[in-house]
A and B are shown apart, each in its own frame.
Chain A
Amino acid sequence: MIEVKNVVKRFDGFTALDGASLSVPTGSVYGLVGPNGAGKSTIIRHLTGIYRQDEGSVAIGGEDVWENAGLKARVAAIPDDWYYFLQSTVRDMMRFYKGFYPRFSMERYEKLKEVFSIDEKRVIRRLSKGMQKQVAFWLALSCMPDYLILDEPVDGLDPVMRRQVWSLVMGDVAERGTTVLVSSHNLRELEDVCDHVGIMDRGKVLLERSLAQLQDNMVKMQVVFRDGQEVPADLPVLHVSRVGRIHTLIMRMNAQEAAARLAVYDPMLVDAVPLTLEEIFIYELGGADYAVKDIVL
């Protein structure tokens, strides 16, 4: 279990985290999403022990993260700006990791060598960016971590490698019950791999739910009212759009409840359409004044 409670972090008077809280249940895959500058990477740097919070607590498995080497031996992370030593090859880096992670598995390392097909004698810094990322996964998964913390992990990977990497991570989650926290902007992909989602904005976690709850808590209804009626004013809708006679309503309730609320008006057609995570993200943040602005250049 990863628990971040009311964490505040200021940099020279700028408040990057403003009372952020999140909790990741053991064995789940938690997707952290939010607009640029929301504080996702800052939270992640607290979880990996790079930053120390000004206020609040950051704990993994009930233990404080800061300066806790024993705990960090069970946590593997792939940051967005990874670092490899000058002139070090994959094999050199493997030895370095092996020194820090007592559970480092050579068996896994060898198995993953087949998957990534990168020559382990090559200098990592001379590899392409995408290949460097593959090396990061290779090493992180070889550490047999209980906790895997990934900051925009599949950026720069080709489509086959993305799938490959997710397949490896999902297999690890299913087999070993690894707890994964992943930040990403690729909501389409998160929808597949996550079971919990937290939405961040301006240094706070706005909401966090299981994906099933999130999808059950908001619904898109397509409705045609009789005689070209408008949307009744007393209906609690988040967003309305209209094409011809069809109104598309976004409502914060589940599909049955929405259908019951609409049935009162005896509409000609009611159809519930599931929302994608991307739509939920847009409408949740729409309430927080964050939306695509209509600007023509």
Chain B
Amino acid sequence: MISLNYRDSRPIYEQIKDGLRKLIVTGALGPDEKLPSVRALAAQLAINPNTIQRAYNELEGEGYIYSVPGKGSFAAGNTDADAQRRAELLARLRELAAELHYLGVSRQELETLIKEAYES
């Protein structure tokens, strides 16, 4: 369910974080759905369990998942996604928009794209 790219310069725990976040944001992991246990993921990916725990802890801090002691971690509804992440993504979009503008992509094309994302 998560694949690690060894040519990626991001640290492993960030790749795991991004991978899980993507699953949650796209709805592949629905609200209150159980995430794989740290142990299962460690064995499956052949990754240190502490690294995976770190990714889980940070995702919990950002509000993407919540954990129930003795039961495991669950995906949170994506309603209260972290404000910091929102700001980060908006900044990235601004950067991308500036570059697309520089490359001659028209405003209309961009607007269509955004519309598509909102309507899907």
Contacts and interface: CB of A to CB of B under 8 A. Distances in A.
Interface in A261-292: 273-274, 276
A173 B42 contact: yes
Nearest to A27: B50
Contact of A195 (B6, B44, B51): B51
A260 interface: no
A166 B10 CA distance: 21
B10 A174 contact: no
A174 B52 CA distance: 10
A193 B46 CA distance: 7
Given A174-B38, A215-B11, A193 B48 contact: yes
Task: Classify the secondary structure of A's interface with B.
Answer: helix
B46 A166 contact: yes
A276 B9 contact: yes
Given A215-B11, A276-B9, A170 B43 contact: yes
A191 B47 CA distance: 9
Given A175-B39, A195-B51, A212-B54, A170 B9 contact: no
- Candidate in B6, B10, B11, B44 with the most chain A CB atoms within 10 angstroms: B11
A274 B11 contact: yes
Contact of B42 (A171, A188, A194, A211): A171
A167 interface: yes
A174 B54 CA distance: 13
Given A170-B49, A174-B38, A191 B54 contact: no
A242 interface: no
A276 B12 CA distance: 10
Interface centre among A170, A212, A274, by most chain B C-beta atoms within 10 angstroms, is A170
Contact of A170 (B6, B12, B46, B54): B46
A168 B44 CA distance: 9
A28 B50 contact: yes
**Which one of B39, B48, B51, B54 has the highest number of Cβ atoms from chain A below 10 Å of its Cβ?**
B48
Contacts of A212: 13, 54
Interface in B1-58: 4, 6, 9-13, 38-39, 42-51, 54
27 contacts: A28-B50, A167-B43, A167-B45, A170-B42, A170-B49, A171-B39, A171-B42, A171-B43, A173-B48, A174-B38, A174-B43, A188-B6, A191-B12, A192-B12, A192-B46, A192-B51, A194-B48, A195-B48, A195-B50, A211-B51, A212-B13, A212-B54, A215-B11, A273-B9, A274-B9, A274-B10, A274-B11
Interface of A: 28-29, 163, 166-168, 170-171, 173-175, 188, 191-195, 211-212, 215, 273-274, 276
Interface of B: 4, 6, 9-13, 38-39, 42-51, 54
Given A171-B42, A211-B51, 16 more contacts: A163-B46, A167-B46, A170-B46, A170-B47, A170-B48, A170-B49, A173-B49, A188-B6, A192-B12, A192-B47, A192-B48, A192-B51, A195-B51, A215-B11, A274-B10, A274-B11
